[in-house]
Structure 1
């Protein structure tokens, strides 16, 4: 099933809801500058294992509306709250990748874990901000030659070899976003961070991070692990920034074991 959910007047976010009668639910929060489509190889498999898979596109990305404003961590996490309330979700697993990991962390801290009983952080942008020099480079690239910037991201996200068609598919996901929202979220990731939120997380937390991640170094995951009570870290030895694609079978198995 597919929905457009109004998160504030004039702004709708797109939601893909697969296997709504599943006995366990995962709400996936994608990374920058992508969409729920990045989790295709989870949506292909997990519903057959009894999981309800929900993917939402942030405002400004994927199939969602693309307003010019509203790209702070607080506002984006508030959008997650509206989706959870509208779909009447309870006792779900919230799984966030990269910047989506930061959003998931902010959601749990800001909304007292409303509706969420478990958290999965996948190469999450935590605990600090994106380094200023890197963020400024991404912003400048977005505003001058966004396709070239996206092509460079594809090269840096993967550890394993991917075919040219697969690379093109991943590239096209990024092109679905608006340029202004792509830049605005990177400004947020440069100027905000979730360090002070980590101590407020009170649900079991699985931290997955690619050992070869060039975007969020593995040391970040180790630090996040220390700052979240009741969390455990699983290194993915053959992954870069996207273990759900680099090691999709291992990722799916690890995720299923955690949500049992």
Structure 2
């Protein structure tokens, strides 16, 4: 449904990412005097503060969650609570320009996003972590994992993710026309606040489908997260999630990868995404969900979380 898609941009396209080296200042935590507010961040080489959550035992296996456009680490609250209870260390960051991280005017593309992840991973000294990405975050995971230092990554999960590439071209005839993404940009500039209501109230969660059980709280929370971020960063990110070609990234990933995708995804259409990515991966497993929407981690956590756990434990 290209019309519904045009309403909601939900994935961030990348461009190449460099991860091997970490040019970031080590995780800088604000000094905590009793009663003082604290915020956990790392500072990148270009001076950007990246906010992150880090819950659970430092000795437990880490699961790193990567959110979609234009959201924040808060989009993973359900999954983080679920896996924390299962004994895992759970980590989620706000991508630059999103959430509580710096509202950047530059660096809003996939190479830098993945480099920021590398800085975070190095700062927290993570080894054998599992990286889980939704939508744009799935592109970020693919871009990072393809370049990660040996021993950093054990497995990866791409959920409703943008790879291999979203935009239509001669090489990708099944993609969405560039006009769809131009429409996203125009809507963001014209009235970002209204656009960020229309997306979750419609195609993102499938709330525009007949008989859908609509949650106003979920819509409001999507809006809240989106409006926390910077308009310039979100505008630039549309190009990142729609035009980045992850083909070579997928081919270069050596660890097991689970692809989870609903076949009623109106944001990242199923036929041109997960099935194509599965063919490019060396160790890819495709899991398709009948009738589920783009935001299925939120609408159907009772389905998604156990399947995630089974893959992680396998």
**Which TM-score band applies after superposition, normalised by the shorter structure?**
over 0.9
Q: Secondary structure at the match of 1:212?
A: coil
1:124 aligns with 2:161: yes
Residue 229 (structure 1) shift: 1.3
1:157 aligns with 2:204: yes
Aligned match of 2:243: 191
Structure 1 residue runs of 4+, over 6 Å off?
none
* Separation (CA, whole Å) in 2 of partners of 1:162 and 1:25: 33
* Separation (CA, whole Å) in 2 of partners of 1:224 and 1:188: 18
1:52 aligns with 2:89: yes
Using the size of structure 1 for normalisation, the TM-score is 0.95
Unaligned runs of at least 5 residues, structure 2: 1-37, 168-175, 207-211
Cα separation, partners in 2 of 1:190 and 1:46, compared to 1, 3 Å:
closer
8 Å CA contact 1:108, 1:201 repeated in 2: yes
* Deviations 1:41-69 (CA, angstroms, capped at 9, x unpaired): 11222111111110011000011011210
Match of 1:138 among 177, 184, 187: 184
* Separation (CA, whole Å) in 1 of partners of 2:311 and 2:75: 21
Match of 1:208 among 260, 274, 280: 260
Aligned match of 1:84: 121
How many residue pairs get aligned? The number is 260
Larger radius of gyration: 2
* Deviations 1:54-110 (CA, angstroms, capped at 9, x unpaired): 001100001101121001211110000000000000000001111111111111223
For residues 25-64 of structure 1, what are the structure 2 equivalents within 5 Å? 25-64=62-101
* Separation (CA, whole Å) in 1 of partners of 2:188 and 2:274: 27
Higher helix share: 1
* Deviations 1:4-30 (CA, angstroms, capped at 9, x unpaired): 101223211001011134622110000
1:15 aligns with 2:62: no
Aligned match of 1:104: 141
* Deviations 1:157-196 (CA, angstroms, capped at 9, x unpaired): 1135232122112211111111000001112223322122
CA-atom RMSD in angstroms: 1.6
8 Å CA contact 2:108, 2:237 repeated in 1: yes
8 Å CA contact 2:196, 2:222 repeated in 1: no
8 Å CA contact 2:251, 2:282 repeated in 1: yes
8 Å CA contact 1:23, 1:51 repeated in 2: yes
Residue 202 (structure 1) shift: 0.5
For residues 241-260 of structure 1, what are the structure 2 equivalents within 5 Å? 241-260=294-313
* Separation (CA, whole Å) in 1 of partners of 2:147 and 2:60: 27
Cα separation, partners in 2 of 1:84 and 1:148, compared to 1, 3 Å:
same
Further displaced range: 124-133 or 34-43: 124-133
Match of 1:65 among 88, 92, 102: 102
Aligned match of 2:173: none
Aligned match of 2:276: 223
* Separation (CA, whole Å) in 2 of partners of 1:182 and 1:172: 14
